[in-house]
Amino acid sequence: MDMDILSLATCFLLIIFSKISNAVNMISPSDSLADGMKLVSNDGSFEMGFFTPGSSKNRYLGIWYGNIPMQSRTVVWVANRINPINDSTGLLKIETTGRVVLQGQNRTAVWSSTNSSTQGVGNPILQLLDSGNLVVRDANDGDHSENYLWQSFDYPTDTQLPGMKMGWDLRINLSRRLAAWKNPDDPSPGDLTYGIELQGNPELVIRQGSVKRYRSGLWNGDGFGGAPIYRSNQVFTYDFVWNEDEVYYIYFLKDKSVMSRVFLNQTKGVKERYTWKPNTQNWTLFTVHPDDSCDIYGPCGANGNCDTSKFPFCQCLKTFKPKSPERWNSSDWSQGCIHNKPLNCQGGDGFIRLQSVKTPDTPNSLVNKSMDLKECRARCLQNCSCMAYTTLNITGRGSGCAMWFGDLMDIKQYESNVQELYIRVSASESEELKSKHKMKHALIISTLLAVPLGLLVVVYYIRRSRGNLKDEDHNEDLELEVFELGTISRATDGFSSNNKLGQGDKTRCKVLDWAKRFQIICGIARGLLYLHQDSRLRIIHRDLKAGNVLLDSKMNPKISDFGLARTFGGDQTEANTNRVVGTYGYMAPEYAIDGLFSVKSDVFSFGILLLEIISATKNRGFSHPDHRGNLIEHAWRLWKKGKPLEVADNFLVDTGNESEILRCIHISLLCVQQHPEERPTMSLVVLMLGSENELPPPKQPGFLLQNSTPFEIDSSSGNHGLSSSKNEVTLSLLEPR
Ligand SMILES: *[C@@H]1O[C@H](CO)[C@@H](O)[C@H](O)[C@H]1NC(C)=O
Ligand SMILES: *[C@@H]1O[C@H](CO)[C@@H](O)[C@H](O)[C@H]1NC(C)=O
Ligand SMILES: *[C@@H]1O[C@H](CO)[C@@H](O)[C@H](O)[C@H]1NC(C)=O
Ligand SMILES: *[C@@H]1O[C@H](CO)[C@@H](O)[C@H](O)[C@H]1NC(C)=O
Ligand SMILES: *[C@@H]1O[C@H](CO)[C@@H](O)[C@H](O)[C@H]1NC(C)=O
Ligand SMILES: *[C@@H]1O[C@H](CO)[C@@H](O)[C@H](O)[C@H]1NC(C)=O
Ligand SMILES: *[C@@H]1O[C@H](CO)[C@@H](O)[C@H](O)[C@H]1NC(C)=O
Ligand SMILES: *[C@@H]1O[C@H](CO)[C@@H](O)[C@H](O)[C@H]1NC(C)=O
Ligand SMILES: *[C@@H]1O[C@H](CO)[C@@H](O)[C@H](O)[C@H]1NC(C)=O
Ligand SMILES: *[C@@H]1O[C@H](CO)[C@@H](O)[C@H](O)[C@H]1NC(C)=O
């Protein structure tokens, strides 16, 4: 009886043992794996053994999914892909050095692992992990050691599994890349490959032979510019690691029970991601790259922008035109596009911003992780061949700099995508100007008032650029008051004394000489008159100041509200006084103190503005060594002393019409009288400006604001309300037309 139990127990143990030995996940130097045997990873996810693909007769050592029925066996890695065994003599071994060898007929090696780093291993084993990774490690290191002496994940075939790094170990010059099977019967490498290319910005690239087929676009810290939808998928997370040691792309499954793989299909010439559908027991296509006509590398040639929502999908980038219109017309995009207006590196180009694009490819691009966007722009502007730049890392507050040199290739337009790109254009095309049209124009006046030298520089800059352009370009060209200080500074050798008034190159002074300023003054006066009298509604602007006067390309002033992001066309004059805003320095005493406004408070503001234009000095913050008064007081003192012209900008004195300047000073003093009823109406002002009739003598103006702190108030939050004074007051609410 006892014996029976014992033999039964022995028998049972033997069965267990044989089961275990059938499903091992590792071999040591004393074992081998012959054709017909397999390694099975711990949880059965993956298996390794010998197989014959498709209609082939060859035997290969491979790794496949363990949980998928044999009839749809999916091989993810092949050892001897270029060296098949044509019978069942295959034998896999691990040597005591840790080197792994696959032997075929007559024990000749058909494949082996690299053995460079396997010296001095104590107890090497070859193990198939649940990730599908086949690794050599030292058994003495313990089961959880990730100190692999060799791993199949470093030598992928056509499949990227979760947790597998695609890319470079720069320390040992190892590139992990995929190469498709030649066909379903032959795992030897086809010419379709996929990996990270390090030139300039590292990117994932699919090539067919040596030809680029698809690029991922720049990694911007959040995703790839060329695969925007990836970020928010349900199946996997991914990352791009780029440091001194490594550059790689990796992904992980959100739900470990899901099976998902990326592989290259030579027949279709694409990279596909499939996920396993347990209920239908087959693989379902999840994503594919290239996905559409615009994913395919560079269909639109240099400086083209591929947009699948357009017909034809090849467009030139904004501010570019076809290099060969005939060919472009006949759907031959290969010649690409060229700038509408030639760049003028020396004169300072500008940039326009493209949104939702895949960043371009160029043989020459540079990245700098420590520069910010501003530095990036400045650096790009410095180099005449730098054609585009953008933020490298858009997450957080944005950091880093990517720059492109030469023609811009393979830009794709997306409907929405966080990626932006700034492309170099001639200053006159620059959007930086156009989008901030108003502000820039307003800046002219402000510059005139605040920085006379800066103004000259601008004038100089405008004239300089004009010199390079044909006649028909002049009008638009005058819009190139895109003068970020940097640009101006570059265009003028950093405000060098060469550009000072009255020295060198004299004609430049003419652009904003007295005649121009007088034109601007009269324009403002007429504009205000229009608001007060000629428009359908009577409008009181209440915030007339230099910053709210825009100049169009012909230096015609338009009155506007500073914050209104609109361009005014033609002779139209509009105001939006929905916002009740005033600015110290321009506010009439009765408005500042009592909140009373009228056409006459606008007249007061006009007077200040007039004085500012004449003197090229701001009332607000005006200071004079001899007294503490403001600009009005200064003008009044000089008037009383009989030297009114001294208030004028020095350079007007020789160039301008003295009597006209004097007349304007006189009018300005009338406009800033203390009491509203003592100020002329705008119609009277316009009359005064246009005639030579004698003007009434001014009384002492309202000096109210002389010591007020310069700051802007927004009285909409205050309680000034909409009080009125006298009959002529009308409320100023006007919808923008
Ligand atoms: C099998 O391969 C060996 C060596 O590669 C070769 O000599 C032999 O002819 C092959 N046999 C067949 C049936 O293809
Ligand atoms: C295999 O070994 C046998 C006997 O040594 C020899 O006759 C045969 O040519 C060898 N085959 C190959 C492919 O080396
Ligand atoms: C691998 O080891 C063999 C035998 O020791 C040696 O001949 C060969 O050069 C080694 N290969 C590499 C890549 O180190
Ligand atoms: C890196 O490997 C490539 C081939 O894979 C070779 O052309 C290149 O010279 C190697 N670079 C270094 C620094 O070893
Ligand atoms: C590639 O796609 C073709 C066409 O759909 C298909 O027949 C073939 O099996 C695919 N290749 C692989 C290796 O799955
Ligand atoms: C998967 O199986 C379902 C049902 O058998 C079938 O309708 C579907 O076309 C299959 N999908 C693929 C990609 O083979
Ligand atoms: C291009 O095509 C348009 C419309 O089809 C035509 O008007 C234009 O003349 C063509 N231009 C050239 C250069 O062929
Ligand atoms: C990156 O930019 C910083 C700041 O301009 C500069 O100091 C650094 O040298 C640059 N790095 C490279 C690699 O050009
Ligand atoms: C502009 O940048 C390119 C690419 O980095 C470089 O080859 C060239 O020397 C630079 N030119 C100047 C003037 O710095
Ligand atoms: C991008 O910037 C964020 C925020 O500054 C930082 O946490 C992240 O590591 C950066 N990513 C890369 C790839 O530099």
| Known active-site residue 185 | no
Q: Which residues in 344-379 are b (16+ Cβ under 10 Å) and which e?
A: bbebbbbbbebebbbbbbbeebbbeeebebeebbeb
Q: Exactly one of 35, 154, 410, 543 is catalytic; which is it? A: 543
- Does the pLDDT value for residue 8 go beyond 80? no
Would you kindly state where each structural domain of the chain is located, as residue ranges?
A: 18-155, 157-291, 304-425, 506-734
Ligand 1: nearest atom to the Cα of 86: 1
Per-residue pLDDT of 192-210, as tens digits, reads: 999 999 987 899 999 999 9
Domain 506-734 has CATH 3.90.550.10: no
Q: Which pLDDT score is estimated for 117?
A: 57
Going by CA atoms, what residue is nearest to atom 9 of ligand 9? 383
Residue among 70, 76, 77 at smallest CA distance from 102: 77
Residue-wise pLDDT tens digits, 604-643: 999 998 998 888 777 766 777 777 778 888 899 999 999 9
pLDDT at 14 over 60: no
Check pLDDT > 60 for residue 435: no
The pLDDT value recorded for residue 22 is 57
| Calpha distance 713→175 (Å, rounded) | 62
Task: Report how far ligand 3's centroid is from the alpha carbon of 24 (Å).
Answer: 28
Which residue in the block uniquely carries the two structure tokens 């291993």? 121
- Whether residue 715 has pLDDT greater than 60: no
Rounded to whole angstroms, how far apart are CA atoms 136 and 159? 20
* pLDDT computed for residue 646 by the predictor: 87
pLDDT band at 388 (very low <50, low <70, confident <90, very high): very high
What's the predicted TM-score (pTM) here? 0.64
Nearest CA to ligand 6 atom 7: 280
Measured by CA distance, the residue closest to atom 3 of ligand 7 is 329
Q: Any idea which residue has 């005449």 for tokens?
A: 384
For 18-155, CATH gives 2.90.10.10
Cβ 489 vs Cβ 439: under 8 Å: no
Ligand 2, residue 108: give the atom nearest the CA: 14
Q: Is the CB of 244 under 6 A from ligand 8?
A: no
Which of 372, 395, 397 is the best mutation target for the ligand 10 pocket, counting ligand atoms within 8 Å of the beta carbon and taking the most?
A: 395
Task: Return the closest-CA partner of residue 49 out of 22, 29, 18.
Answer: 22
More confident site: 71 or 653: 71
Distances (CA, A) of 614 to 368, 584, 662: 48, 19, 10
Mean pLDDT of all residues in the chain? 78
Model confidence at 269: pLDDT above 80? yes
**Residue 652 has what pLDDT?**
75
Mean pLDDT over 528-544 rounds to 72
Average pLDDT on 480-490 reads 32
Show the tokens assigned to 127.
């193990």
Q: Is 693 near ligand 8, meaning CB less than 6 Å away?
A: no
pLDDT at 77: 98
Beta strands at 124-128 and 26-27: parallel, antiparallel or unpaired: antiparallel
Here the tokens at position 512 are 């904003």
32/94 Cα distance (integer angstroms):
7
- 309, 415 contact by CB (below 8 A): yes
How deeply is 166 buried, as exposed, middle or buried, from its count of CB atoms within 10 A (0-12, 13-18, 19+)?
Answer: buried
Q: How confident is the model at residue 573 (pLDDT cuts 50, 70, 90)?
A: very low
Question: Residue 116: CB within 6 Å of ligand 3?
Answer: yes
Cα 186 to Cα 189: distance, rounded to the nearest angstrom: 8
Assigned token pair, 177: 């890349």
Distance between CA atoms of 641 and 25, rounded to whole angstroms?
105
For residue 171, pLDDT over 50 is answered with: yes
- Distance, CA 115 to ligand 3 centroid (Å)? 6
Residue 146 — pLDDT band, cuts 50, 70, 90? Answer: confident
Residue of 222, 224, 393 best suited for mutating to test ligand 10, as the one with most atoms within 8 Å of CB: 393
Instruction: Indicate which ligand has the atom closest to the C-alpha of 401.
Output: 8
Q: Is the pLDDT of residue 515 over 50?
A: yes
Q: Which of 53-62, 352-361, 387-396, 436-445 has the lowest mean pLDDT?
A: 436-445
* Phi/psi of residue 15, nearest 5 degrees: -60, -45
Q: Report the run of H or E that residue 193 belongs to, with start and end.
A: strand 186-197
First to last CA, the chain: 108
**pLDDT-wise least confident of 39-48, 193-202, 466-475, 622-631:** 466-475
Helix segments in 530-657, DSSP class H = 589-594, 599-615, 631-641, 650-655
d(C-alpha 737, C-alpha 387), whole Å: 39
Q: What is the pLDDT of residue 220?
A: 84
Sheet holding 282-289, edge to edge: 159-160, 260-265, 270-277, 282-289
> What is the number of residues in the chain?
737
AA letter at 707:
N
Stretch 5-27: mean pLDDT: 56
pLDDT over 70, % of the chain: 74
What pLDDT, on a 0 to 100 scale, did the predictor assign at position 709?
A: 36
